[in-house]
Amino acid sequence: MILKERKNKYFDGVIDPYDLSQLKTWVEGLEAEKPQTAAELDEFLNKVDELNHKLRDTAAEIYIKMTCDTADKKIAEDFNAFQQNVSAYYAPKNNVFKNIALDSPALGEWIAKKGKTGTLLEKILKNDRDLFREENVALGIEESQLGVEYRTTVGGMTVEFQGEEKTLPEMAVFMKDNDRSVREAAFRARNGKMLAHKQELNDLFDKLFVLRKKEAENAGYKNYRDYIHTAKGRFSYTVQDVLEFHTAVETEMIPLITELNQKRKDKLGVDKLKPWDMAVPLDGKLLKPVSKPEDLIPKHIEMMNLVNPVFGRNFKAMDDTKLLDLFNRKNKAPGGYSYPLYKYGASFIFMNAVGLHSDLRTLVHEIGHAMHEFAQADLHYTSMLDLPMEAAELASMSMEMLSMPHWNVCYKDNDDFRKARYDQIEDALRFFPWCMVVDAFQQEIYTKADTAELREKAFLDVMDRFSAGVDWDGLKDEKTAQWLFQLHIFEVPFYYIEYGIAQLGALAMYRQYKKHPVQAVENYKKFLHLGHQVPLSDLYAEAGIELKFTREYIKDLVDFIREELEELSK
Ligand SMILES: [Zn+2]
């Protein structure tokens, strides 16, 4: 089935990144509105929503074309033009629209009619307005420029290895080498390069730190940590909850991971487990889900059908509508994404598949995001009620888990099927310590450790706190360099924990599935269909799980993980 473009109700026409006259007419029309009744306010919000979506779709189409063909210079120009002309013009207008809504005398009546959705939207709009400071706009721009500087510095790093020049991501393959001396040499080369830039990156971070501190102070906060918690609209959990999450991982997860590391050490037959021993596959076997990359599409349609026929149908429709560009080729940007396309009520999936297990996993992940878009296509105000990361990633990470029982569509060999599932669960578990390191470290930086020296000490402390038997003796310099690899700390502070929250949720979804498979998938669908119309904690409840970080809660989950891993090792 080919998806049809949905009709616009208010704004018919296209947005031209080089000629804003049409867009300006639309915007000026909206700016002149003064909604007096609940019905007028509702119509006003729906108009803003439609225009927001139209802008996003235009940006999406340019971005998609650009990533699918990096050699096309014209499209790269269009992309810059869109940013410089359209985005720059429209961003402040969005604030004007929010204010019109918040200042409408009918707001109270409208909220009463809309219930939880109305209350949530008001809360989000108000929060943005309360935190908005004119003087922070320039600081934000400076901040993102420094972010680009980080990206350029680290992205440009190369090392000489085995007689060839390699980028840092290219070094990952040597960390999986069966020859331990190769792994160690790769580790040292990669870290040596980062250490050579340590001073420079610390100076860069100092600048970011000053800007962020200032942004928080401008908004009336005593530290950036508390400011960003509010700014991110984290209404469903507190800073205290996040600290409890750290403790629960430390006390409940680290012991199991330490056991797994002990097994790894024994299997590798080494006397100490070093940081370069962590990525090498223990049985040296590489999983291949398909014989050629193109088979990923029919196989995933089949798997999605088994999770739920709706998902199979939707994914097939994406293929029929040419909303997939999955295979690696020349002149394609790296990476993968699922980009929402409102006009289809779907999304576009981009990736660089070559036919490895990671491709299977990436594709089910992105399909999870896409199914979220299908499910929330007909909801209102979705451009103002953006999916929080903790919900968006719950959709995608849960799809990984819910599709897992059907991976035998790709893995006919029972041992491969078992290994793929074991790795999936072990990888999910192993994500948490580093996630906590990244968050706990930032908590320290922005509340206490405010110099490069204190920062280094704080980092070593959190590394020890979440260590699970990996031996860093004789590698103190390398150890201090680990945070410099984490882009999020430089570019999107405090964002990383949201992956941890979603991953915890996805494991809870899988536990639910094991107990009540049919009900779990139904709950998952209900969760998708809610978009962000209710607060995050309600979304988790609708999915049949809890947004919870206590020791008891995580202990129960760890018990479940342990049983699963034992079952899958047989
Ligand atoms: Zn994702």
Question: Rounded to the nearest whole angstrom, what is the distance from the C-alpha of residue 497 to the centroid of ligand 1?
Answer: 14
pLDDT of 259 reads: 97
| Distance in Å, CA 569 to ligand 1 centroid | 28
Between the CA of 414 and the centroid of ligand 1 the distance, in Å, is 28
Asked if residue 467 has pLDDT above 90, the reply is: yes
Each residue's pLDDT tens digit, 352-378: 999 999 999 999 999 999 999 999 999
Q: Give residue 151's pLDDT.
A: 85
pLDDT in tens, 406-464: 999 999 999 999 999 999 999 999 999 999 999 999 999 999 999 999 999 999 999 99
Over residues 161-171, the pLDDT tens digits come to 999 999 888 89
**HSE (side-chain half, CA atoms, 13 Å) at 284:** 5
| Centroid of ligand 1 to alpha carbon of 359 (angstroms) | 14
- Rounded distance from Cα 361 to ligand 1 centre (Å): 11
Residues with CB under 5 A from ligand 1 (ion): 396
Mean pLDDT over 100-124 rounds to: 98
Mean pLDDT, rounded, for 397-403: 98
Q: Is the pLDDT of residue 570 over 90?
A: no
Residues 6+ apart with CB under 8 A from 493: 212, 224, 228, 442, 446
Report the separation in Å between the CA atom of 333 and the middle of ligand 1, taken as the mean of its atom positions: 17
- Please, what is the Cα angle at 454 between 450 and 455, to 5 degrees? 75
Distance (angstroms) between ligand 1 centre and the Cα of 390 equals 10
- Distance (Å) from CA 38 to ligand 1 centroid: 36
**Mean pLDDT across the chain, nearest whole number?**
96
pLDDT at position 144 is 87
Q: For residue 533, how far is its CA from the centre of ligand 1 (angstroms)?
A: 20
Q: Could you tell me the distance, in angstroms and rounded to a whole number, from the CA of residue 337 to the centre of ligand 1?
A: 7
What pLDDT was estimated at residue 334? Answer: 84
Say if residues 352 and 327 touch (Cβ distance below 8 Å): yes
Is residue 284 predicted with pLDDT exceeding 80? no
Give the lowest-confidence range in 185-189, 261-265, 326-330. Answer: 326-330
In the reported structure, the alpha carbon of residue 365 is separated from the centroid of ligand 1 by a whole-number distance in angstroms of 6
Going from the Cα of 319 to the center of ligand 1, the distance in angstroms, rounded, reads 20
pLDDT tens digits, 85-103: 999 899 889 899 999 999 9
Pairing of strands 346-353, 337-341: antiparallel
For residue 54, pLDDT over 80 is answered with yes
CA of 181 to the centre of ligand 1 (A): 35
Residue 22: band (very low, low, confident or very high) from pLDDT cuts 50, 70, 90:
very high
pLDDT score recorded for residue 137: 87
Percent of the chain exceeding pLDDT 70 equals 100
C-alpha of residue 76 to centroid of ligand 1, in Å: 25
- Cα-Cα-Cα-Cα torsion 17, 20, 22, 28, nearest 10 degrees, comes to 130
**Least trusted range by pLDDT, from 3-7, 61-65, 327-331, 511-515:** 327-331
Task: For residue 81, give both structure tokens.
Answer: 């033009």
What's the pLDDT band for 158 if we cut at 50, 70, 90? very high
Measure Cα distances from 164 to 159, 160, 170, 171, 247 in Å. 8, 5, 11, 11, 44
* Span from the CA of 369 to the centroid of ligand 1 (angstroms): 7
Distance in Å, CA 442 to ligand 1 centroid: 22
What is the spatial distance between Cα 68 and Cα 56, in angstroms, rounded to a whole number?
Answer: 18
Dist. CA 134 → ligand 1 center (Å): 32
Tell me the CA–centroid distance for residue 366 and ligand 1, in Å.
Answer: 6
Dist. CA 552 → ligand 1 center (Å):
28
Give the span between the Cα atoms of 186 and 334, in whole angstroms: 22
| Interior angle at CA 124, CA 122 and CA 128, nearest 5 | 115
Ligand 1 midpoint to CA 511 (Å): 20
Tell me the average pLDDT across 495-503.
97
- CA–centroid distance, 388 to ligand 1, in Å, is 12
Q: What is the pTM of this model?
A: 0.96
* pLDDT surpasses 90 at 337: yes
